[in-house]
Amino acid sequence: MKDTINKVVALAMGIAVTGKEQVEKTIDELVQKGQVSKEESKTLTESLVQKGEEMRQRMEELAQERVKAILSEKQIATKDDIQRIEKRLDALEQQQ
């Protein structure tokens, strides 16, 4: 049972990378071994896919936040900074 729980937890953690097909394959293996019922398999699959998508989105948000923090720390111009400077430059050029 502990192996089954570990396998499900590992699957949930890797779902963002592995995709729905891998989840279904792993859950089917658990059904064949009698560790999960056929009825439970659908609910478990849907739950893991949803949690995987939530984890993927959260990891993406964290990555974006970290990149922004690094850019801010290193004082590197962002796309918005460059666009703002270009607008100011255009305005100055039109004044001349």
Whether the pLDDT of residue 64 is over 90: the answer is no
pLDDT single digits (tens) 11-56? 666 655 567 778 788 889 989 999 888 888 888 888 888 887 888 7
Domain range summary for the chain, segments of one domain joined by +: 2-95
Q: Determine the distance from the C-alpha atom of residue 21 to the mean position of all C-alpha atoms in its chain, rounded to a whole number.
A: 17
How far is CA 68 from each of CA 42, 47, 76, 79, rounded to the nearest angstrom? 39, 32, 10, 11
Query: How many C-beta atoms surround the C-beta of residue 57 within 10 A?
Result: 11
What pLDDT shows up at residue 23? 79
**3-class DSSP state of 74:** coil
Which pLDDT score is estimated for 91? 95
Mean pLDDT of 81-93: 96
Q: Residue 9 — very low, low, confident or very high, per pLDDT cuts 50/70/90?
A: low
